[in-house]
Amino acid sequence: MTNDLVIGMAGSGGDGIVAAGESLITAAALGGYHAIMTKSFGSQIRGGESSCRLRIATRPIYSTGGTLDVAVALNWEDFLKFGAELPVGGHTVVIYESKTGVQPDRLPLPGVRPAASLPVPIGDMAKSMTGTDRAKNTVVLGLLAGWFGITREGILAGIRKRLEKKGAEVVEANQRAFDAGVEYAEQHPLASARTMALPAEGKQVKLLVDGNEMCAAAAIFAGCEFFGGYPITPSSEIMHYLSREIWKYGGSMLQAEDEIAGIGAVVGASFAGKKALTATSGPGLSLKTEILGLATIAELPLVCVDVQRGGPSTGIPTKSEQSDLFAAVFSAHGDAPRPVLAPMSVADTFPVTVEAFNIAEYYQTPVIILSDQDIAQRKETVDPIDTKRFRVIERRRPNETELVEYDRFRLTESGISPISHPGMKNGNYLASGIEHNEHGAPTASGEMHSRMNEKRLRKLAPLKRRRDLFLVQGDPDAPVALIAWGSVAGVAMEALELAHEQGLKVKLLVPKLLYPVAEAVYQDFLASVKRGLVVEQSHQGQLYRTLRMFVDLPGGMESLAKSGSNPILASEIVDRLRAMALGMQRKRAYEPQPDLG
């Protein structure tokens, strides 16, 4: 029996690899398992290679795991293109299409001898059962069900759900293909059984959702009434979801002609008194920068979701990266502070999105959510969301007294001034990108410019005291520390568990508020720390460098950073932590010198 199974599959476009993964994770959700599925594609517009990676477990999981337990290669050329994304090790069972002609002892995996190499006539089986080899993915599902005990009825339910629109004949043919895969597995048993254990009794059926869908649903819950944006991988699903759903709640959406027009419409909607959202990826964030500055100086609330991908420029559109932090925090001319938040999982995307709207509305500021391709497009089983635990904040409107000689940008102690909207009696004001006085009239006064800059910065100061926007785990007095954010935080959480199992004293900090930098939170966390790692998926280590600008990091804090499409594994984090712990033990003690007279 196994409690944790990591499956990786790859093939050509049209082989249905991702569809097979979706059927598997649907079965896992129906069966009450914890599961995460990521999908990956080449950067081609059509065709090319595709893969999916699925982890199923009987306990909570936070990442897609490390080396594969099961590898499925419909052709070797495409499988090998994914390199470190689908790592094969000595305990991996490799299932591959026998038509490739590769002998089991000659797999194109230099330096690795898998636990088992199983050539299977997958295409021939699919054709004999359905009349076409397009059902290869369904045969693979049967093989996995037969060899690893993943619930057959659950998989069949997933197949039926995926194919029901194609008619009963197609569903029946694919069921035959699935049964053929199961029968083949039963006739060719593994030398060492690896049956998946059942989840604990009483486990409820889970929701199956990706991060983009979770973000869009949370926006509606938070009261978003307008979306303006432009399609861009890997954020487009947010627009797709809202195009179907936002109308049901009295909202509206605009697919604009470009990224600039999309956020321009959002600023207009916010000026009109509506909660508003836009979504993009790195190239689009670059284009939206000027209008984000307009929202800052006009003190207009909005939320901008940036689903990060490999950069710069077009970069690698289909791979995850965490390299937009500098752009989110610093890409503005003038002094234009804006909060930046980041979810750490699909489930966490809901509360982070709600909080982004609350912060935007309360502080009257643009807020950027830094999601990434891993979180945004991966499927994850989550427990049903208890929306009663969330509060929704509305912007501060002026009362009747404040509307007498209304000063939109009044210099208040908190830095927050009541905000009106068109149609509010006596609430008219000028909202422009030029510096202004308290009433909103343009000014070239250096003194007023300084006071307004100070106002816009001062109002965000309370955010830095929000300790609820940070996750802290581990021994508070540990001398070794981990700091990680976004999708890499899940890997760090599992690394923390492994480190504790090995007797290492380590603690972890996951910031969901990336900016403004909460200096006191970091200093308290680092008080006991001698060595540690800031783990992130950006070549420069952007969070590490940002923290060094604001926080007095211990001399032993190092950066563990990789470019996108190069997975960071929990095991390599633990290896670095162990070396740090041993290094502290080996530090030479003071040795008194002999008195030579």
Q: Are 159 and 239 contained in the same domain?
A: no
Q: How confident is the model at residue 37 (pLDDT cuts 50, 70, 90)?
A: very high
Which is it for strands 366-372 and 302-308: parallel, antiparallel or unpaired? parallel
Distance CA 333, CA 436 (A): 17
Angle, vertex CA 308, rays to CA 303 and CA 310, nearest 5: 160
Q: What is the pLDDT of residues 318-341, one digit of tens each?
A: 899 999 999 999 999 999 999 999
Contact 490, 515 (CB under 8 A): no
Residue 594 has pLDDT above 80, yes or no: no
Angle, vertex CA 577, rays to CA 572 and CA 582, nearest 5: 125
Q: Is 378 helix (H, G, I), strand (E, B) or coil?
A: coil
CATH code: domain of residue 248: 3.40.50.970
Q: What pLDDT is attached to residue 43? A: 67
Q: Are 225 and 95 contained in the same domain?
A: no
Residue corresponding to tokens 């060094």 = 548
Residue 488 lies in a domain: yes
Q: Are 326 and 438 contained in the same domain?
A: no
Contacts 24+ apart (CB under 8 A), 405-408: 407/438, 407/439, 407/440, 408/438, 408/439, 408/440
Residues 240-261, mean pLDDT to the nearest whole number: 98
Residue 192 lies in a domain: no
Residue 29 lies in a domain: yes
Q: Are 104 and 123 contained in the same domain?
A: yes
Residues 173-183, mean pLDDT to the nearest whole number: 95
Q: What is the pLDDT of residues 499-525, one digit of tens each?
A: 999 999 999 999 999 999 999 999 999
Distance CA 126, CA 177 (A): 6
Residues 439-450, mean pLDDT to the nearest whole number: 97
* 370 or 583, higher pLDDT: 370
Residue 205 has pLDDT above 80, yes or no: no
Q: Are 400 and 517 contained in the same domain?
A: no
* 276 or 110, higher pLDDT: 276
Residue 301 lies in a domain: yes
Q: What is the pLDDT of residues 271-330, one digit of tens each?
A: 999 999 999 999 999 999 999 999 999 999 999 999 999 999 999 998 999 999 999 999
Overall domain count for the chain = 4
Assigned token pair, 266 = 């959002």
Q: What pLDDT is attached to residue 44? A: 63
Helix 17-31 and helix 152-163, axial crossing angle in degrees, nearest 10: 130
Q: How far apart are the first and last CA of the chain?
A: 72
Q: How many CB atoms lie within 10 A of CB 582?
A: 10
Contact 343, 352 (CB under 8 A): yes
Contact 293, 333 (CB under 8 A): yes
Q: Are 361 and 377 contained in the same domain?
A: yes
Q: How confident is the model at residue 46 (pLDDT cuts 50, 70, 90)?
A: low
Q: What is the pLDDT of residues 404-438, one digit of tens each?
A: 999 999 999 999 999 999 999 999 999 999 999 99
* 206 or 447, higher pLDDT: 447
Q: What pLDDT is attached to residue 31? A: 86
How many CA atoms within 13 Å lie on the side-chain side of 476?
3
Q: Are 222 and 313 contained in the same domain?
A: yes
Q: Are 162 and 66 contained in the same domain?
A: yes
Residues 242-256, mean pLDDT to the nearest whole number: 97
Residue corresponding to tokens 């759900």 = 161
Residue type (1 letter), 591: E
Q: What pLDDT is attached to residue 202? A: 62
Q: Which residues pair with 509 in a beta bridge?
A: 472, 483
Residue 593 lies in a domain: no
Contact 308, 282 (CB under 8 A): yes
Assigned token pair, 320 = 């995850």
Q: What pLDDT is attached to residue 134? A: 85
Q: Are 443 and 484 contained in the same domain?
A: no
CATH code: domain of residue 563: 3.40.50.920
Q: Is 539 helix (H, G, I), strand (E, B) or coil?
A: coil
Residue 193 lies in a domain: no
Residues 47-69, mean pLDDT to the nearest whole number: 92
Rounded to two decimals, what is the model's pTM? Answer: 0.93
Spatial CA neighbour of 301 closest among 188, 424, 431 = 431
Distances (CA, A) of 160 to 38, 99, 587: 21, 28, 62
Average model confidence (pLDDT) across the chain? 94
Residue type (1 letter), 390: F
Assigned token pair, 589 = 């003690």
Residue 471 lies in a domain: yes
Q: Which of 26-35, 82-91, 156-165, 474-483 has the lowest mean pLDDT?
A: 156-165
Across 42-155, the runs of DSSP E, i.e. the strands, are 49-57, 70-73, 93-97, 116-120
Residue 200 has pLDDT above 60, yes or no: yes
Residues 213-218, mean pLDDT to the nearest whole number: 98
Instruction: Supply the range of the domain harboring residue 438.
Output: 396-454
Q: Is 552 helix (H, G, I), strand (E, B) or coil?
A: coil
Q: Are 385 and 429 contained in the same domain?
A: no
Q: Are 49 and 183 contained in the same domain?
A: yes
CA 15 vs. chain centroid, Å, equals 26
Residue 590 lies in a domain: no
Q: Are 309 and 410 contained in the same domain?
A: no
Give yes or no for a cis peptide into 312 (omega within 30° of 0). Answer: yes
